[in-house]
Amino acid sequence: MRKIYCILIALFICLFTTLPHAQSVDIKSAFADAEKQTNLMLIEIPAAKHAKPELVSPRTLNSNGELVLTPSLRWTSGFFPGELWYLYEYTGNKKWEEQAKAFTGNIEKEKYNNASHDVGFKVYCSFGNGYRLTKDEHYREVIIQAAKTLSTRFSPTIGVIKSWDTMPKWHYPVIIDNMLNLELLFEATKLSGDSSFYKIAVSHANTTLRNHFRKDFSCYHVVDYDSTTAGNIIKKGTQQGYADESAWARGQAWAIYGYTMCYRETKDPTYLKQAENVARYILNNPTMPTDLVPYWDFNAPNIPNEPKDASAAACMASGLYELSTYSKNGKIYKKAADKMMESLTKNYRSPIGENKGFILLHSTGAKPNNSEVDVPLPYADYYYLEALLRAKKIKEGKKLF
């Protein structure tokens, strides 16, 4: 087994040392373009509200090219505020800080919303970035309250946070996406001194590591547990991927990003190794295109005639940049992230002044439901800007955290 593992590592290294070096993305230019698009988005949002104050953040474009907004309760509501914080972080322009504060404030009530695990996505991407950049004491309080809310979904018996309540197909579903919400819990422990949040995050990460991954380190989207027992597994499957045994691309992105973040917060080498294993699966996958922007599912049946998922590539790139700062294979991971960002910047961005201000095109939300296929999505833009900031810090020799 160890011999096979060493062979795979050697092949992995060989593959990426022979790839042509990606051209460096002009980060200054990319952010300037992002500012132009976001200025357009700020004009389009009021026009799309139609006197519906519950609509707070961009979601996508519909088939007529019209801007679709989302209420604060939906899982994507925190990404646009996060984008605004990233623009402020890069530029220092108070305009972006003011807009970030306004859009962040629109979703504050989500700190009490325990209807799903998504409180982490909503609050950490917005208030988390806001606190990191401003140290606003109120933001600190919101983060801690949101962590308390998320903690109510944790089962000590099963050892994981339940993802959904309203999906009759599943009994106690836990999705790989949930790994990203653990960052809220780690931060809440640092801000409050309450170690219960940290312990819940570690328990969830460990249980997910045991149960969500196949032998090749691809991951299932959903693991369904029996809450009436000590966490027996009922089923492993998917909600947004091609098939139960396929590798949904964004799920693999959540996995590499999530376990890299868990290593950062705990320094547990098990998490670093898992992130490296997932990276190897992604980057060695025979269906990964040469531009390193994956199809929506690595096992989709009609590759290469399948939709791409720019959101998966943006999240992967951001995760790989961070992983490159911890791993002995760091040069490989950075090279792959650079290639992803070069591809996204050259071939997946919206023309300036179009698409209501979204930055990236060609993402896929949930293809099995024919929902948001080959469209712009806010989390693609969020992780793209995050990856640009991480690339900048690495280039300047600065620590990411």
For residues 166 and 158, give the distance between their C-alpha atoms in angstroms, rounded to a whole number: 19
Q: Rounded mean pLDDT of 160-180?
A: 93
pLDDT of residue 5: 45
Burial label for 171, CB within 10 Å (0-12, 13-18, 19+), is: middle
pLDDT at 50 over 90: no
pLDDT of residue 82: 98
* pLDDT tens per residue across span 196-209: 999 999 999 999 99
pLDDT, mean over the chain: 94
Contacts of 89 (CB under 8 A, 6+ apart): 129, 133, 389
Supply 193's token pair. 């001194």
Percent of the chain with pLDDT over 90: 91
pLDDT at 391 over 60: yes
* Residue 168: strand pairing partners: none
With cut-offs at 50, 70 and 90, classify the pLDDT of residue 7: very low
Q: Are 221 and 241 in contact (CB under 8 A)?
A: yes
For residues 99 and 85, give the distance between their C-alpha atoms in angstroms, rounded to a whole number: 8
Supply 191's token pair. 């801000």
Q: Rounded mean pLDDT of 69-86?
A: 98
pLDDT of residue 13: 52
Percent of the chain with pLDDT over 70: 95
Which residues are annotated as catalytic?
118, 177
193: alpha, beta or left? (left if phi > 0; alpha if psi -120 to 50): left
Q: Rounded mean pLDDT of 272-292?
A: 98
pLDDT of residue 371: 96
- In 3D space, the residue among 235, 237, 249, 213 whose CA is nearest the CA of residue 367 turns out to be 249
Q: Taking the C-alpha atoms of 278, 279, 282 and 286 in order, what is their torsion angle to the nearest 10 degrees?
A: -110
Q: Are 343 and 293 in contact (CB under 8 A)?
A: yes
> What is the SS3 assignment for 61?
strand
* Residue 308: strand pairing partners: 295
With cut-offs at 50, 70 and 90, classify the pLDDT of residue 394: very high
Residue 48 CA, chain-centre distance (Å), reads: 26
* pLDDT tens per residue across span 347-378: 999 999 999 999 999 999 999 999 999 999 99
pLDDT at 210 over 60: yes
What are the residue ranges spanned by the domains of the chain? Answer: 16-395
With cut-offs at 50, 70 and 90, classify the pLDDT of residue 22: low
With cut-offs at 50, 70 and 90, classify the pLDDT of residue 51: confident
- In 3D space, the residue among 17, 25, 20 whose CA is nearest the CA of residue 321 turns out to be 25
Contacts of 238 (CB under 8 A, 6+ apart): 220, 221, 222, 244, 246, 248, 368
Minimum mean pLDDT range among 4-8, 96-100, 281-285: 4-8
* pLDDT tens per residue across span 104-159: 999 999 999 999 999 999 999 999 999 999 999 999 999 999 999 999 999 999 99
Q: Are 196 and 151 in contact (CB under 8 A)?
A: yes
Minimum mean pLDDT range among 38-42, 49-53, 349-353: 49-53
pLDDT of residue 230: 81
In angstroms, the Cα distances linking 215 to 5, 210, 274 are 12, 11, 12
355: alpha, beta or left? (left if phi > 0; alpha if psi -120 to 50): left
For residues 163 and 173, give the distance between their C-alpha atoms in angstroms, rounded to a whole number: 6
For residues 93 and 87, give the distance between their C-alpha atoms in angstroms, rounded to a whole number: 8
| Length of the chain counted residue by residue | 401
pLDDT of residue 20: 52
With cut-offs at 50, 70 and 90, classify the pLDDT of residue 6: very low
* pLDDT tens per residue across span 307-354: 999 999 999 999 999 999 999 999 999 999 999 999 999 999 999 999
For residues 365 and 384, give the distance between their C-alpha atoms in angstroms, rounded to a whole number: 16
Q: Taking the C-alpha atoms of 25, 26, 32 and 38 in order, what is their torsion angle to the nearest 10 degrees?
A: 0
* pLDDT tens per residue across span 215-247: 999 999 999 999 888 889 999 999 999 999 999
In angstroms, the Cα distances linking 209 to 95, 165, 342 are 42, 22, 31
Q: Are 99 and 80 in contact (CB under 8 A)?
A: no
Contacts of 86 (CB under 8 A, 6+ apart): 129, 382, 385, 386, 389
pLDDT of residue 12: 52
pLDDT of residue 189: 98
> What is the SS3 assignment for 33?
helix
Q: Taking the C-alpha atoms of 283, 162, 307 and 260 in order, what is their torsion angle to the nearest 10 degrees?
A: -20
pLDDT of residue 228: 86
pLDDT of residue 19: 52
pLDDT at 4 over 50: no
Q: Are 149 and 112 in contact (CB under 8 A)?
A: yes
Query: Would you tell me which CATH number, out of the four given (1.20.210.10, 3.30.470.30, 3.40.50.740, 1.50.10.10), belongs to the domain 16-395?
Result: 1.50.10.10
